[in-house]
């Protein structure tokens, strides 16, 4: 993908013309294909040109202690231009009861700044206290074993429950526990 985007994805997104999208047609990664990639490039350009970028989109709809409504509004703005229906499955929406794992992971990278360099912390208008744990099968199973989560499904309701319990442990940086939850689930056979 980086080669297709000339190893400069931001400039490609902002400056591409319709003819530049043709080589993207050959891209495939699991269920994400070239048509999806072209849509993402066009939707990102739309967000940068019309809304001032991703950080501003997420900030505009941020609640004081949660970004789940921001994710919902991001998806709406991402797909407000003409789009393929199939591409919508690649962007989760908490208002449809999704835990939105990938977007929450992205937000963690962009907002939270850790000393180890895993989380970049380059967005300054949002706070780590607003972040949600990227809930997946591994972090969910460990959270249940530790009594942090009682809900069986890994959905938006479970994420809200986990958020509440992690914020009770650390209201300033509740997502710091993601490393332990995920790591115990994947690497330790917890």
Domain range for residue 101? 89-186
DSSP annotation of 33: E
131: in domain: yes
Cα–Cα distance, 27 to 5 (Å, whole number): 11
In a domain, residue 54? The reply is no
Per-residue pLDDT tens over the stretch 7-42:
999 999 999 999 999 999 999 999 999 999 999 999
Domain count, the chain: 1
Please, what sign has the CA dihedral across residues 56, 57, 62, 66? Answer: negative
Answer yes or no: is 95 within a domain. Answer: yes
| 133 inside domain | yes
Tokens of 97: 């009861």
Answer whether residue 84 is part of any domain.
no
**pTM for the whole structure:** 0.94
Q: Give tens-digit pLDDT for 109-158.
A: 999 998 888 899 999 999 999 999 999 999 999 999 999 999 999 999 99
76, part of any domain: no
Element (H, E) at 45: helix 34-51
Residue 40 lies in a domain: no
């Amino acid at each position: 993908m980086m080669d297709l985007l000339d190893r400069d994805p931001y400039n490609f997104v902002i400056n591409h013309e319709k003819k530049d999208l043709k080589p993207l047609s050959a891209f495939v990664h699991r269920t994400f294909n070239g048509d999806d990639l072209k849509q993402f490039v066009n939707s990102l350009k739309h967000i940068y040109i019309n809304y001032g970028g991703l950080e501003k989109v997420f900030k505009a709809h941020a609640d004081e202690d949660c970004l789940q409504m921001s994710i919902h509004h991001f998806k709406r703005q991402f797909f407000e231009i003409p789009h393929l229906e199939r591409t919508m499955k690649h962007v989760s929406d908490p208002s449809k009861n999704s835990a939105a794992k990938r977007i929450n992971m992205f937000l963690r990278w962009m907002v939270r700044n850790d000393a180890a360099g895993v989380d970049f912390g380059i967005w300054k208008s949002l706070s780590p206290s607003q972040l949600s744990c990227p809930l997946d099968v591994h972090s969910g199973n460990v959270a249940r074993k530790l009594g942090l989560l009682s809900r069986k499904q890994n959905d938006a309701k479970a994420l809200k429950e986990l958020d509440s319990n992690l914020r009770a442990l650390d209201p300033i940086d509740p997502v710091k526990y993601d490393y332990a939850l995920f790591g115990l689930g994947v690497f330790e056979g917890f």
